[in-house]
Amino acid sequence: MSPFRRERPPVCLGPLASLPEDVPTRVGTSPPVAILRHGDTVHVFEDRCPHAGAILSRGTLTNEHLTCPAHKATFEIATGRSLGPIPCRPLRTYKSWTENNLVYHSPSPRPTRKSNASPCPNQP
């Protein structure tokens, strides 16, 4: 076995023009992620709420804040930061980019900053 860690290849999410604007959309990757296109900017984040596992792409989007449909936990889409009202770990986000009009994301989540929020009750 090689002592070097092999990077997994980026994940292609499809053409930028095919992504709906300002609508969180679930992508059936493993693990499932959601994508949100806002103009030419695309955000990719885990599609399960860290609090109770609800599907976040079914949530409500307001000013780039996504609210979980189950218990109203709210997250900042760009950073994954938990905004309350339930103290929770940050949402995992993924680096994304557009190349030749195709959208890609890194297979590994970005490192999260430590939060002063307490661990999520009922965290799956």
Structural domains in the chain, CATH included, are 11-105 (2.102.10.10)
Across 1-124, where does the E strand assignment appear? 11-15, 25-27, 33-38, 41-46, 60-62, 65-67, 74-76, 82-84, 93-94, 96-99, 102-105
Residue 116's pLDDT is 44
List of residues 6+ apart from 97 with CB closer than 8 A:
103, 104, 105
pLDDT tens for the 124 residues of the chain, in order = 455 656 678 989 889 999 999 999 998 777 889 999 988 889 999 999 998 899 999 999 998 899 999 999 999 999 999 998 988 899 999 999 999 999 999 888 888 765 444 444 444 4
Q: Which of 52, 47, 64, 58 is nearest to 13 (CA)?
A: 47
d(CA 49, CA 22): 19
